[in-house]
Structure 1
Amino acid sequence: MEFRQLEYFIAVVETGSISAASRKVHVAQPALTRQMRLLEEDVGTQLLDRHARGIRLTVAGRTLYSEAIRLIDDRSDIKARLLAMGRGQTGKLSLGVTVTHLWVPEVAKLMGGYRGRYPQVALDVFTLLSGPQLEKLNQGGLDAGIIYHDDHAPSGIKAHLLQRDHLILAVPANSYWAQSPPTRLLELAETEFVWGYRGISPVYYDRMVAHFSRLNFEPRVVQYGADNITILSMVAAGLGVSIVPAASRSHPMSGICFVELEDLTTCDMPLWLAWRAGNVSPVLDNFIQMAVEIFE
């Protein structure tokens, strides 16, 4: 029993005769008659009572007709769903984003635009720092991640450069440094800093420390925060100053003044879209393509 035969059978039933069905499906009447005979031989019982004015369904024929309608509909549904999956229009995408970048306009536009273009794709967003994102990408726990990294993707990871960020000084809005901003890092030698832990983003941390080393500057760290938003909250509370990615300015947080320093703008902090090599997914391909379009 073939789908083609079932489609012919449905046409015969719905038109009421072999001759009318042959015109509907554009198949010669003798060939259509033969297909109905082959279908009856295949199922092992008579499906149609033929008479001078057309055909009449047997009991088996009525059952096959209802089942054939269901099978044809199911086939169409399966084909449509598979086609949508193959085009990346349905499925699931897990995305890692640092807390800092959730507020960056281009990232917000990317997430909103992707959801708008592919509403049938479930977009799961996880706020993770760059180090944990890389771990999850390697383990298959994330499909894509927006991370800080150097100019070479680690083994097993593919990446596309989204934009080049730099560092910026964050000070309490009511502090001396907000009223009289420094012009060089060395002016902050005795100032108390709020800092992050190396383990949560080693590449970002090492890149920043290496830059400070070239400037003969070492921050006087008195407080630590788990991520940039925590660090900024501590700065706003007056616990010290900090150095964070310039993208942090996108986060709506009161009590903080951001200061641009040439010593910090020269520290290149490339932002990448990363994914695991070998992750063949139309859903991921569409996301990468949209990211490239938005960050161009």
Structure 2
Amino acid sequence: MELRYLRYFVAVAQTRNFTRAAEMLGISQPPLSQQILRLEREIGTPLLKRLTRGVELTEAGEVFYQDACQILELTGNALEKAKSIARGVSGQLSLGFAGSTAFHPAIFTLLRRFQTRYPAMLLQPHEASMAKLMHELEEGTLDVAFVRLPCESSKAFNLQIIASEAMHIVLPSSHPLSHSNTLSLQQLKGTPLITFPREIAPSLYESIISACLRSGFQPQTGPQSPQISSLISMVEAGFGFAMVPASLCRIHAPNVSFHPCDDPALTSDIALAWRRWDRSASLQHLLQELKARSRDRQS
């Protein structure tokens, strides 16, 4: 059964007149009458009583009319949903976060702008190590990922830097230098360095170790933290000092102190990563919001 049969029948049932229904549908009256007859033959029972001045619904026609209206409404809704998803204004967008990126306000400013503009879009956040995020992005289980640069596998994807931040030194409040302002790594030569596992962020790990070597010492590595964001808790427990991105200084920890580092090369960029071939409308909308944010910052 064709949907146009349902539309024709509903129009006749609502107007109770073939001529007015034909005008409403934008067709002539004879073809409309023929289509309704075909519908009745297909169903096997009359749906309309033809009267001198119009039509009335039969008992079967009354029931069929209610169902036809629901079918047309559901079909219309399904079409609108499909069109809306194709336009990127609804559906879902899966977002990956490297653990330490979740603290930077630039990311949530971007997502808030995007959600305000596209309220019907469901954002699905997922946190994992950068290596796992890149794998999931490549496999298509993630649409985009917020990662820290440098990141080795990032060359396989498009990248747009969102923010650049310095690395800060974190000390326990009991450390003799905890009341200092800017510190050099050389001053911490005898203090154990708390690191995260290298596989979580290999390049960032290497940049921290290299900074220590540039300062003239091989760092004495202490216990490792499972994530970058949990380094602060281990410093608070007294295991040593750590290096964290500046945005993590927003974490409230009463028994630690945060200090700028005098090594200007020790920085970390946060970037949005996505597959090079992905041209989905929802992704393009997110990138447009990112460009708009950049323009606002420059103006």
The question of a shared fold, defined as TM-score above 0.5 by the shorter chain, is answered with yes
Q: Does 1:137 align with 2:137?
A: yes
1:186 Cα deviation after fit: 1.9
Report the equivalent of 2:76. 76
Residue 177 of structure 1, CA deviation: 1.0
Q: Aligned residue for 1:287?
A: 286
Distance 1:198 1:277, change over 3 A: same
1:249 equivalent to 2:249? Answer: yes
Deviation at 1:30, TM superposition (A): 3.4
**TM-score when normalising by structure 2:** 0.84
Q: What residue in structure 1 maps to residue 7 of structure 2?
A: 7
Q: What is the distance in 1 between the residues matched to 2:20 and 2:141?
A: 57
Asked if 2 retains the 8 angstrom alpha-carbon contact of 1:132 and 1:201, the reply is no
Map of 2:265 onto structure 1: 266
Match of 1:229 in 2: 229
- Range 226-235 or range 138-147, more displaced: 138-147
- Counterpart of 1:51 in structure 2 is 51
Partners of 1:270 and 1:200 lie apart in 2 by 16
76-85 vs 61-70, greater mean Cα deviation: 61-70
Alpha-carbon offset, residue 233 of structure 1: 1.0
Alignment partner, residue 219 of structure 2:
219
The percentage of aligned residue pairs carrying the same residue is 26
Greater mean alpha carbon deviation, residues 249-258 or residues 40-49:
40-49
Q: Which moved more, 1:181-190 or 1:199-208?
A: 181-190
Please give the alpha-carbon distance, in whole angstroms, between the structure 2 residues aligned to 1:62 and 1:75: 20
Aligned length: 295
Shift of 1:45: 4.8
**Partner in structure 1 of residue 161 of structure 2:** 161
Q: State the AA in 2 paired with 1:227.
A: Q
User: Which stretch shows the higher mean deviation, 144-153 or 77-86?
Assistant: 144-153
Give CA-to-partner distance per residue, 1:244-269, whole Å, 9 cap, x none: 22222232333222211221x32242
2:25 & 2:124 partners in 1: Cα distance?
A: 46
1:99 — aligned with what? Answer: 99
Shift in alpha-carbon separation, 1:139–1:29, aligned structure 2, 3 A = closer
Contact 2:136/2:142 (8 A) holds in 1: yes
Distance 2:143 2:272 in 1: 11
- Partners of 2:258 and 2:202 in 1: CA distance: 24
Aligned-partner residue type, residue 287 of structure 2: I
Is the CA contact 2:101–2:270 (under 8 Å) kept in the aligned structure 1?
Answer: no
Q: State the alpha-carbon separation in 2 of the partners of residues 109 and 181 from structure 1.
A: 29
Encode CA deviations 1:270-289: one digit per residue, 9 max, x unaligned.
21111234445433333333
Aligned partner of 2:18: which letter?
A: I
Measure, in 1, the Cα distance between the counterparts of 2:126 and 2:254. Answer: 25
Instruction: Judge conservation of contact 2:186–2:212 (CA < 8 Å) in 1.
Output: no
State the 1:44 CA deviation. Answer: 5.3
Alignment TM-score, normalising by the size of structure 1: 0.85
Per-residue deviation, 1:40? 3.9
Q: Mean Cα displacement is larger for which, 80-89 or 44-53?
A: 44-53
8 Å CA contact 2:182, 2:260 repeated in 1? no
The separation in 2 between residues aligned to 1:280 and 1:43, in whole angstroms, is: 45
Q: Deviation at 1:147?
A: 0.8
Give SS of 2:81's match: helix
Structure 1: how far apart are the matches of 2:9 and 2:117?
40
1 CA distance for matches of 2:192 and 2:199?
21
* Aligned partner of residue 222 in structure 2, secondary structure: strand
TM-superposed CA distance for 1:146, in Å, is: 1.0
CA distance in 2, matches of 1:25, 1:257: 74
- The question of 1:276 aligning with 2:275 is answered yes
- Indicate the residue corresponding to 2:195 in structure 1: 195
Give the superposition deviation at 1:36.
3.0
Unaligned 5+ segments in structure 2 are none
Offset at residue 41 of structure 1 (A): 4.9
The Cα shift of 1:13 comes to: 1.6
Residue identity matched to 1:55: V
Judge which range, 160-169 or 132-141, deviates more. 132-141
Query: Is contact 2:87-2:281 (8 Å) kept?
Result: yes
Asked if the contact 2:151/2:202 (under 8 Å) is kept, the reply is: no
